[in-house]
Amino acid sequence: MTRAKTPARILIVDDHPMMREGLTTQICNAPDLAVCGEADDVAEALRLVSELNPDLVIIDISLKTGHGIDLIKQIRGSHPKMKMLVNSMYDESVYAERSLQAGALGYLNKQTARETLIDAIHIVLAGKTYISPAMTDRILKSRIGGMIEPGKSPIESLSDRELEVLTLIGQGQTTSGIARQLHLSVHTIDTYREKLKLKLNLANSAELNRCAVQWVLENG
């Protein structure tokens, strides 16, 4: 962060004037950052990305016309290396994962932006992923029960009951069969199945069944 270094150039895409002003003021207050342009809809944003080739684009999810997620995908299509940070009023739980999947490097909640904006910009500019500590915690917790340790298999994070259910699935038992055997309701078994899918990062029931069979073959 020496003075000699050229400040990073940032393009702001947000349809709300006060928001743009707040962002601009705060960014420009940082010596190593500068706002190079502002846009309030998808078309203008795409034009400015091509024209200005900024170091970073800050994108709001809801725009005057079009959707922020679509804009991320389009920019990624035309500028695969463009760094993008989503700044939205929506809860992280809804859009954070989707934004990252679409190609953004970070997700910032507008509610907390005034404290975390500059940090988030620096992290993304460095090519790393930014999501709020609370969201990081939640994603980890939902995936691996919050007990992951480096180098451990996600299966080790399962509770005893979850492991029992996974084993029974792997043995080819149906949900109602497992429910009978464990004296639980099918709904409770379904709850475990959903938890297993989240913790083991499986997209659907078929993947869960495959994974369970694999586990039984290797460990049964």
Q: Interacting stretch for other proteins, rule CB under 8 A, among 36-44, 73-81, 150-158, 179-187?
A: 179-187
Q: Is 191 in the site for other proteins (CB under 8 A)?
A: yes
Contact criterion met (CB below 8 Å) for 98 and 109? no
- Whole-number minimum distance, CB 15 to other proteins, in Å? 9
Closest CB to other proteins among residues 6, 204: 204
Q: Give residue 146's identity as a one-letter amino acid code.
A: G
The interface region with other proteins, picked from 46-54, 86-94, 123-131, 147-155 by CB under 8 A, is: 86-94
**Does residue 26 bind other proteins (CB under 8 A)?**
yes
Instruction: Give whole-number Cα distances, 169 to 158, 179, 207, 214, 219, in Å.
Output: 14, 11, 12, 11, 14
Piece of the chain touching other proteins by CB under 8 A; list 23-31, 47-55, 69-77, 150-158: 23-31
DSSP state of 54: -
Q: Does 214 bind other proteins (CB under 8 A)?
A: no
Half-sphere exposure of 97 (CA within 13 A, CB side): 10
User: What is the distance between the alpha carbons of residues 25 and 2, in angstroms, rounded to a whole number?
Assistant: 21
Q: Which residues of 136-173 are buried (b: 16+ CB within 10 A; e: fewer)?
A: eebbeeebbbeebeeeeebbebbeeebbebbbbbbeeb
Q: Does residue 21 bind other proteins (CB under 8 A)?
A: yes
Among 7, 66, 79, 142, binds other proteins (CB under 8 A): 142
The answer to whether the CB of 68 falls within 8 A of the CB of 62 is yes
Residue 141 structure tokens: 């917790």
Q: How many angstroms separate the CA atoms of 85 and 98, rounded?
A: 13
| Residue 113 makes contact with other proteins by CB under 8 A | yes
Stretch that binds other proteins, among 70-78, 125-133, 163-171, 187-195 (CB under 8 A): 187-195
Of 43-51, 75-83, 166-174, 180-188, the window that binds other proteins (rule: CB under 8 A) is 180-188
Q: Position 196: which residue type?
A: L
Q: Binding to other proteins by residue 22, rule CB under 8 A?
A: yes
Tell me: does residue 117 bind other proteins (CB under 8 A).
Answer: yes
Binding site for other proteins (CB under 8 A): 16-23, 25-26, 29, 62, 89-91, 93-94, 110-111, 113-115, 117, 138, 142, 179, 183-185, 187-188, 190-195, 198, 204-205
